[in-house]
Chains A and B, each alone.
Chain A
Amino acid sequence: MSTRKLALGSAIALVAAGAFAAELPNLGKPITPDDLKAWDITIFPDGTGLPDGNGNSVQGAPIFAAKCAACHGEGATGGVGGALTPGPARASLDGGKSIANFWPYSTTIFDFIRRAMPYNAPHSLTDNEVYALTAYLLNLNRIIGPNDVMNKDSLPKVKLPNAGNFIIRFPERI
């Protein structure tokens, strides 16, 4: 093997090992998981990323009334923020997507509330409040009972009825 080939081989090995790449400025600064904690909030359908804490629908109802109903309406029946009730038996092109008839994963409820809600003060709820609101919406959609406690173990086990009805459009692109 020529020297040049050897050098190239070494460069590839270094890149693969995550060492400094050749001819790039290498200005990225290393960051630890601890320093990233405030941003690293992704929740996955298997429950990965869910924090400690818990809540049930009974606890969630007053939180919803205080912090969500201004946009979503009393009892989540709709407003500028849209309804969060079960809706029709089946969603269609005429509308009506709901947790009961369309959403595939219960973990998405927690993830979205925690990162994006309430609209005027996103990411201001405690994890207990987010669990309680998640439970409130799951109960409203007749998926769980009013006293069922949602936490990092129980929430990913809550299966939503429509989860099996999705088709990946272009599987070759994944």
Chain B
Amino acid sequence: MAKRRTDLGAYQPEIVAGNGLLHRRALLGRGMMLAGAAATGVDGSLTSAAAEPMVDPAWTNAPGSLMLPYQVPSRFEKDVVRAVDNPNNLPRNTRARTPHHLLNGIITPNGLHFTICHGGVPDIDPAQHRLVIHGLVKRPLVFTLEDLARYPKVSRIGFVECGGNSAPLFSNTPIQANVTALHGLASCSEWTGVLLSTLLEETGIDPKAKWIIAEGADSPRLTRSVPVAKALDDAMIAMYQNGERIQPGQGYPMRLWLPGYEGNMNVKYIRRLQLTDQPTMSYYESRTYSQILPDGKAYRFYFLQEVKSFITSPSPGLALKDPGIYEVTGVAYSGTGRITKVMISADGGQSWGEAALQDPVLPKAFTRFRMPWRWNGGPAVLQSRAWDEGGNVQPLRADFVALRGQTSRPPDVGAFPSQHFNAITSWGVSNRGEVNHVYA
């Protein structure tokens, strides 16, 4: 066998960190195959049981079904759905979480984009919808959807993340739940619309304006105060999501999109923008999205979704079957800009190896990372840690909760003890291959 390896070019997958993390170039075809061979200590051709003889299945011997005007996923994918926490539509807010562990790439399919509504999903007739810009402007104006169709548009890929995403990790003990439950309130799409700065050019801005009160046409008339500086930077009145009109859960027919800013500020069903010299201190900004600190003070106007990453596979519910090579993959993102580096650990942070960042690496968007890992069948703790182009690094959980606090007892998995959790997530792998949420 030693001779065979020599014949193949003496390739040895380079181990870059403890407990089996391999160099990211082992992801390239040949390297991966050989790494697999090395993992089991046998020749590549002997790593799998012999295949069964091939037969033609029924679907190959008969024509297929009717083609739908708007196609839907295969019936075999029926479990790839969002987790909805208010299935009976009780009179309260409802959340639907993205099943990240069942997805791949950087774009969240429209039907799986996370949604939070505080008064149900409104059924808006686009022909009757209006967008008003008024207050400290030179000319208060009303726009229809038809009007906006004629304005110059831009398309940008970017994430939206609820300020409360990952809130279960504020629990003092790790809550056992899957990626959907822990990190499912973030998604990433291509958004197309008119830059808000374009519309403000038409209304003109009074120099006294410092804030824009953004209000939706949903039943709570959800309202947030947005700094004018953000509006002029990269805010968009988004009308398309991944090429089609945005989904009702994302704000049909138009939403405010503030790349990199707390999801709740990205006001859906946007109907009114009031320029003012002061914030309104709405319910959501003064109560819900103000974060209690251990000393009794609280943060206000957090806005920024800071640098973060989590591993989507392996993850709870995706058990490892046999020792050997696995791809450790997940998403990293930052409201500050581009992701510059993601490091992976398989030994609970004792040693780290650099993951491959898959192109495209875009500012304020999901970046898919991948890393080959040889599981030796023993216990492991998988972690990912991201860096962004602003020089920010994803904090260790212990450091993070020392500043931001944690609960004194485990809350319900759906509770929001605080928000803006961006520290490292740890997945513990048992010697049976089960994956659990742990603190390391």
Contact = CB atoms under 8 A, between A and B. Distances in A.
B221 A18 contact: no
Given A18-B137, A21-B202, A120-B91, A170 B143 contact: no
Contacts, number: 188
Interface string A15-40: 11111110011111111110010011
Contacts of A165: 296-298
B147 A170 contact: no
Nearest to A91: B292
Contact of B219 (A104, A122, A162): A122
Contacts of B407: 93-94
A47 to B, nearest CB: 11
Interface residues of B, number: 70
B215 interface: yes
Given A36-B140, A104-B281, A169 B302 contact: yes
A112 B204 contact: no
Contacts of A45: 278, 280-281
A174 interface: yes
Main secondary structure of the interface of B (DSSP, over half): loop
Given A17-B204, A27-B143, A170 B301 contact: yes
A173 B140 contact: no
B147 A25 contact: yes
Please list the 9 inter-chain residue pairs (A to B) with the smallest Cβ-Cβ separation, ordered nearest first. Answer: A18-B138, A18-B204, A28-B141, A116-B220, A27-B147, A112-B283, A93-B417, A115-B221, A166-B300
22 contacts: A18-B137, A19-B204, A24-B152, A26-B202, A29-B143, A30-B139, A30-B142, A33-B140, A80-B92, A95-B415, A103-B286, A104-B281, A108-B283, A115-B220, A115-B221, A115-B223, A119-B119, A166-B299, A167-B300, A170-B301, A170-B304, A174-B210
Interface of A: 15-21, 24-33, 36, 39-46, 71, 80-81, 90-95, 97, 102-105, 107-108, 111-112, 115-116, 119-120, 122-123, 162, 165-170, 173-174
